[in-house]
């Protein structure tokens, strides 16, 4: 498995240590008094967004994380040590969602961001804590408080400036390979792309990150094809580049199919700025190209850009249109490193 964008994880913070009941018994001290120490605090469960990760594959092999318990208090006024916190490392763009898969707990959008997901239980008081002028020899101590436990979902939404959408075989992977150093799988059958791909694009000296997701078909929001689960990876994009295959039967219907799936998705993708392009113009006759262009124009109420990912015709104009929407904000180091990282693969042997 090279890419994992969702994982269910069980976490539990550490219990607090118990307080101790003890008394001093020293030869030359007549009234020793209570000397039971307090228990230590349990360890926290912390989630941190770190560099160098672009998948949740680590949580495919370990799903349970438990912080250590605080040490119990001891005699001679010795307090127990606190339990060490454990840290779950995730890529930037990861969301923590409650077990119901609806309640958002935290969204990591910055490198180095930390969030305490479960606090450890407080340690119990030893009997020395309860000593007073009226209670000189208390014989009670508190147990440590239990830690917090819960099931959560980790969901990754890649950080990218622009996203590619379209039907299967619309030429998205070819376009990405043409404009960046990414090398996605390219073939002449649908659903060649099985997981999102990122590429760093340089257009007229301006760099931005472009995301390619698996193609959508009619009924994707109901689970048809690969479904719409990968649409979450273009939720953070500022602009969508909609590629339509000029060699398809009816380009206008192809446009409406994808738009219908974007509108059915709950991430407000239909409200994003969209640049419509008619791809593979090198593979159709001029008369047919004009018909397809008119069909897309009627369906989208926009004049599509004419491009060819294979020959590069019209591609610079499409990239300039993306840059105009994205603006002059520099590409983040995290997004750039994620796009240039080598895909994960199991070790040999």
pLDDT digits (tens, 9 = 90+) for 119-136: 999 999 999 999 998 888
Domain end residue (candidates: 131, 156, 181): 156
pLDDT band at 339 (very low <50, low <70, confident <90, very high): very low
pLDDT at residue 1 is higher than 50? no
> Which position has the token pair 């001290």?
29
Do residue 141 and residue 115 come from a single domain?
yes
Helices 172-179 and 315-326, packing angle to 10 deg? 80
Question: How high is the pLDDT of residue 46?
Answer: 95
Most confident of 37-46, 269-278, 317-326: 37-46
Residue 329 has pLDDT above 60, yes or no: no
Separation in Å, CA 85 to CA 43, 50, 123, 180: 4, 17, 15, 41
Q: Could you tell me where the DSSP H helices lie in the chain? A: 172-179, 251-264, 286-300, 315-326, 333-340
Q: Tell me, what DSSP letter sits at residue 37?
A: P
Candidates 319, 198, 199, 296; CA nearest to 245 is 296
CATH code of residue 125 = 2.70.210.12
pLDDT over threshold 60, residue 101: yes
Q: How far apart are CA 147 and CA 64, in angstroms?
A: 15
User: Residues 105, 236: one domain?
Assistant: no
Lowest-confidence segment of 13-27, 258-272, 282-296 by average pLDDT: 258-272
215 in a structural domain: yes
Query: pLDDT-based confidence at 320, cuts 50/70/90?
Result: confident
Chosen domain end from 125, 156, 187: 156
List beta partners, residue 210. Answer: 162, 199
* Largest CA-CA distance found in the chain, in angstroms, rounded: 109
Average pLDDT score over the chain: 82
- CB of 210 within 8 A of CB of 179? yes
**Tell me, what's the pLDDT at 325?**
84
Count of the separate structural domains present in the chain: 2
Tokens matching residue 4: 């994992």
305 is a domain residue: yes
- Indicate whether 13 pLDDT > 90: yes
- Structural contact between residues 251 and 281, judged by C-beta atoms closer than 8 angstroms: no
Q: 119-150 b/e with 16+ CB inside 10 Å = b? A: bbbbbbbbbbbbbeeeeeebeebbbbbebbee
Under the banding of pLDDT at 50, 70 and 90, the label for residue 223 is low
168 and 275 together in one domain: yes
Are residues 168 and 152 part of one domain?
no
User: Cβ contacts of residue 252 below 8 Å, gap of 6+?
Assistant: 295, 296, 298, 299
The reply to whether 289 and 304 lie within a common domain is: yes
CA distance 113 to 301: 42
Percent of the chain with pLDDT over 70: 84
Q: Which pLDDT score is estimated for 334?
A: 42
Q: Which helix (H) or strand (E) holds 212?
A: strand 206-212
Q: Which domain holds residue 334?
A: 162-340
| Same-domain check for residues 202 and 123 | no
Owner of token pair 């499409």? 318
346 inside domain: no
347, part of any domain: no
Out of 89, 123, 156, a domain closes at: 156
């Amino acid at each position: 498995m090279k890419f994992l964008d969702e994982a269910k994880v069980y976490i539990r913070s550490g219990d607090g240590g118990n307080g101790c009941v003890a008394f001093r018994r020293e030869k030359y001290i007549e009234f020793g008094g209570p000397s039971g120490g307090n228990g230590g605090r349990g360890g926290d469960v912390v989630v941190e967004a770190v560099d160098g990760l672009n998948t949740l594959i680590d949580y495919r092999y370990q799903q349970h994380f438990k912080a250590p318990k605080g040490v119990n208090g001891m005699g001679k006024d010795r307090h127990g040590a606190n339990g060490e916190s454990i840290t779950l490392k995730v890529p930037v763009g990861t969301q923590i969602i409650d077990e119901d898969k609806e309640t958002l707990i935290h969204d990591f959008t910055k490198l180095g961001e930390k969030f305490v997901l479960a606090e450890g239980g407080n340690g119990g008081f030893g009997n020395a804590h309860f000593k007073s002028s009226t209670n000189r020899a208390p014989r009670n101590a508190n147990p440590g408080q239990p830690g917090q436990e819960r099931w959560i979902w980790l969901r990754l939404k890649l950080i990218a400036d622009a996203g590619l959408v379209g039907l299967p075989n619309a030429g998205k992977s070819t376009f990405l390979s043409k404009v960046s150093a990414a090398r996605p799988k390219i073939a002449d059958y649908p659903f060649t792309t099985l997981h999102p791909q990122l590429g760093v694009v340089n257009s007229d000296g301006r760099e931005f990150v472009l995301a390619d997701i698996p193609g959508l078909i009619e009924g994707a929001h109901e689970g048809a094809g690969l479904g719409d689960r990968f649409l979450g990876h273009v939720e953070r994009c500022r602009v969508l580049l909609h590629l339509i295959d000029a060699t398809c039967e009816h380009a206008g219907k192809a446009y409406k199919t994808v738009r219908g799936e974007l509108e059915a998705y709950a991430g407000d993708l239909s409200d994003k700025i969209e640049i419509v392009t008619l791809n593979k113009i090198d593979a159709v006759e001029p008369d047919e190209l004009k018909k397809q262009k008119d069909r897309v124009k009627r369906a989208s109420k926009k004049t599509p850009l004419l491009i060819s990912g294979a020959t590069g015709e019209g591609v610079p104009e499409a990239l300039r249109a993306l840059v105009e929407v994205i603006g002059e904000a520099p590409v983040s180091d995290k997004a750039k490193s994620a796009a240039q990282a080598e895909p994960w693969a199991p070790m040999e042997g």
